[in-house]
Structure 1
């Protein structure tokens, strides 16, 4: 992460602390106490100092970028931090870090550099990352894979992807199937993130010289806040001692797959509280008229389309999502009495993109069907990912337990862009 970004995160933390004091005073309908006024004044000075430091650092980074662009092509060395982090991620070994944590040995080399960067990020974001010799972390630059992770190829990026020694460079959070449906994944977030929701602007017909009257436009929407998600796997000591890149990828990808499932499932079924609220539980999502178990019919499918279309959502890019039980029923259910067509053909329903996943859970014996414009769904992630090794609990069976923690949230800018039927037979 750039130094300017870290400074911006520190400034955001100061501003949020100030806002908390201001909100408390406004809620109590009172002025600031002497202690609060002192705190606010001190933070004003700190924010001003950070503003100046950010301005200087941005200038430094712009200068370094000019050096990289002009001198790099003439044989000079690039000092781009993104390129350096990309090169380090090429050399990073997840297995080496996990092995050190399981033994309680201090990290060294690139694994230590990445861990230190992740801990710096976590500190600026006020995230709780375990920081002992039994733990290790990866920074936000390794959370999502990009096409610009490697340098040394004349600025084209990707020239050293074919290497003699392959290391894990895939982002820890894989591309989510909800992203394929149009959802937006945001990483590297700072503080709470509000999603603006604007009411419709309207043109009015006027006489030639009639003045336009400005109207206050209401702006309001949900706020994304970091929530902690954790997963764990058991690894045999014998497997952990291997140096095979295949073994490394097996261990890494098990946790990587778990992170993707956790975020996809939270977006669909999240119950709220500790977890995000998913579409099946989110206030404002439109509901079909069904209140008891019913057969999946063409009319039931079109009903969800009508609900979403009536909200002025973009049904041209909308998607149906269901589990395999409901998909099986759709494949054999006739669309009508005479055409010989089925509700689901060629992997699509009602001519729309359709995703089948068993992360859509059965609800009291019935199968939910979700439909909507997924461009209105946002999945956010803060900082890097923290790992903790426990070699004690599974010692009797020669196993190490490896736990992972990340911080994420799911929010919908316009819940009415989605509709669900929770009462369909599979």
Structure 2
């Protein structure tokens, strides 16, 4: 089975069979000892047919700890001896090089590592054999753990690679040593290109999208998802693309995958009023989920210090909020997509298009989802909310009505955690903003904040036209909804990343590529009492 790799790997060994003559050090740098990777045990075949030694025999660098800015020597010759890769090397003249040379001669530094790229791989009896691979550089390192060969590996670097078909060897990235496989995945996912993934899907040629295919397959393994033709996109790849990868010294190794899912939420937030308000996003779900909620509370009592009093028993009751996977999909078309280059501007343009569609879809369902026809249940259909009815056939909302919504939530002892806000559509916003007193003075100053950023009674008023203006009641029609509540009690669960799939056939004659994006989510209101709503406001 062939594989696609777009990044270097490492194997770390202890210097045991070195030979120093004059200023030339001869040592083994790799062997066929199996190393555990995310996909299984990897074995590098050490045959002339398997190893491409062009780089190593062209004055390849010897580094310190894979730091490309700290070259301490040069490889003079690379060759195979008894299934091991050996090199003759000479130390440099820099202070660092002299320091490393002295430590090697005194056997203080005992470990060496190579960075390499795999071009082809085969699976045999559960092990993965690199049948065509290329060493890129060698480094002296500090830690080793494998005593079985002459030049032994350090603690394995779990790279979580996925076997695929070909490799784009021009995309190898800067080398660093990492002990956590998901950290390596994170670095690769940071450079995930939507354009490359879509172009590869449309053409069937993944030679320029090895990273994207590998990351997508890693996500499929993580989520237990198997997709025949689509590819999963990592959540944090939806953030604005700058093409700058964080180094380990800048904190790149400290970011965990689960935390990076927040970047997807941040990217969606401008397109979703409920997320902007503070809805709780729960990612990485598997199967059906039940989330606990407190139905009734216990009570606290004061008692004396003379042991004469006792605390009365009061039992709080708990319920659950169920979340079941539901799929949301969006479809967009791009002309001349196959000619596009993967530049930051193009990447961000396509990301913005999908984020706007997905964010709008989530927003509409979170506000007005009916709970039927495969829709989630939104706030307006949730049970336990307090509904303020204005009139038999609807009525214009007053400032008093808005204050009543706020009072209803407060009367339910809902504590504001900073996410309490009003949410309505632009029609209601305009009508409320134009209310005047008997002297024709505005009750609210329409110039106190930019449109959509006003506050009322000290609470934010967010505007989304996903808040419906087509409701009916009695003989009234085109009625609007107004919501006040604690939006952190609105839960949005996500089961997997976003899967993208291409369609090159529907508009083949036009050269247009259709792209569908699908993700699996559900929406639930954890505490109905956290929301008070109006569903019959008249607003022109």
Normalising to structure 1: TM-score of the pair?
A: 0.71
1:419 offset after TM fit, Å?
0.8
Partner of 1:203: 300
1:394 offset after TM fit, Å?
1.5
2:332 alignment partner, SS class: strand
Distance 1:155 1:102 in 2: 36
Partner of 2:321: 222
Alignment map for 1:360-375 (pairs within 5 Å) = 360-362=467-469, 363=471, 364-375=477-488
Distance 2:286 2:313 in 1: 34
Partner of 2:375: 275
1:174 counterpart = 2:252: no
- Of 327, 333, 340, 1:242 maps to 340
Partner of 2:389: 289
Which digits, 9 at most, give the CA deviation of each residue in 1:350-396, with x for residues without a partner? 23111011111212311111101112111111121111111111213
Change (3 A) 1:215 1:332: closer
Higher share of residues assigned helix: 1
Partner of 2:501: 388
Cα pair 1:234 1:401 within 8 Å, conserved = yes
Name the count of aligned residue pairs.
343
Partner of 1:187: 283
Distance 1:392 1:76 in 2: 43
1:264 counterpart = 2:356: no
Partner of 2:184: 84
1:421 alignment partner, SS class: strand
Which digits, 9 at most, give the CA deviation of each residue in 1:256-292, with x for residues without a partner? 2212112222111112121111111112111003242
In structure 2, runs of 5+ residues without a counterpart are 1-35, 40-153, 159-174, 255-261, 449-453, 472-476
1:424 offset after TM fit, Å?
1.2
Distance 2:460 2:354 in 1: 29
Which digits, 9 at most, give the CA deviation of each residue in 1:155-207, with x for residues without a partner? 53499xxxxxxxxx963852343233222112122333322212211124556
Distance 2:251 2:337 in 1: 38
Distance 1:64 1:404 in 2: 39
1:275 alignment partner, SS class: coil
- Looking at CA atoms only, which structure, 1 or 2, has the larger radius of gyration? 2
Cα pair 1:117 1:139 within 8 Å, conserved = no
1:424 counterpart = 2:537: yes
Partner of 1:253: 352
1:119 counterpart = 2:220: yes
1:296 alignment partner, SS class: coil
Partner of 2:106: none
Change (3 A) 1:137 1:314: same
Distance 2:421 2:445 in 1: 13
Which digits, 9 at most, give the CA deviation of each residue in 1:212-231, with x for residues without a partner? 45554321121122211101
1:111 offset after TM fit, Å?
0.9
- Of 498, 517, 526, 1:413 maps to 526
- Of 313, 327, 330, 2:432 maps to 330
- Of 413, 428, 436, 1:312 maps to 413
Higher RCO (CA < 8 A, seq sep 6+): 1
Cα pair 2:370 2:376 within 8 Å, conserved = yes
Distance 1:78 1:372 in 2: 45
Cα pair 1:145 1:171 within 8 Å, conserved = no
Partner of 1:130: 227
Change (3 A) 1:99 1:425: same
In structure 1, runs of 5+ residues without a counterpart are 7-62, 68-74, 160-168
- Of 329, 340, 345, 2:441 maps to 340
1:219 alignment partner, SS class: strand
Distance 2:423 2:355 in 1: 23
Cα pair 2:190 2:237 within 8 Å, conserved = no
1:188 alignment partner, SS class: coil
1:232 offset after TM fit, Å?
0.6
1:337 offset after TM fit, Å?
3.3
1:211 offset after TM fit, Å?
4.6
1:210 offset after TM fit, Å?
4.5
Normalising to structure 2: TM-score of the pair?
A: 0.57
Higher share of residues assigned strand: 2
Distance 1:284 1:150 in 2: 47
